[in-house]
Amino acid sequence: SAVISQKPSRDICQRGTSLTIQCQVDSQVTMMFWYRQQPGQSLTLIATANQGSEATYESGFVIDKFPISRPNLTFSTLTVSNMSPEDSSIYLCSVEENRNTEAFFGQGTRLTVV
Amino acid sequence: KQEVTQIPAALSVPEGENLVLNCSFTDSAIYNLQWFRQDPGKGLTSLLLIQSSQREQTSGRLNASLDKSSGRSTLYIAASQPGDSATYLCAVKTYGGSQGNLIFGKGTKLSVKP
Q: Using one digit for the tens of pLDDT, what is the confidence trace for B5-23?
A: 999 999 999 999 999 999 9
SS3 of A23-35: the string is EEECCCCCEEEEE
Per-residue pLDDT of chain A (114 residues; tens, 9 = 90+): 789 999 999 999 999 999 999 999 999 998 899 999 998 888 999 999 988 888 999 999 999 999 999 999 999 999 999 999 999 999 999 999 887 889 999 999 999 999
Query: Min CA distance, B105 vs chain A (Å)?
Result: 6
- C-beta separation of A82 from A99 below 8 A: no
Q: Report the C-alpha gap between B104 and B35 in whole angstroms.
A: 10
Contacting residues for A86 by C-beta, under 8 A, at least 6 apart: A113
Give the one of B43, B99, B106 whose C-beta lies nearest to A105's C-beta.
B43
- Mutation target vs A (from B47, B99, B106; most A CBs, 10 A cutoff): B99
- C-beta separation of B48 from B66 below 8 A: no
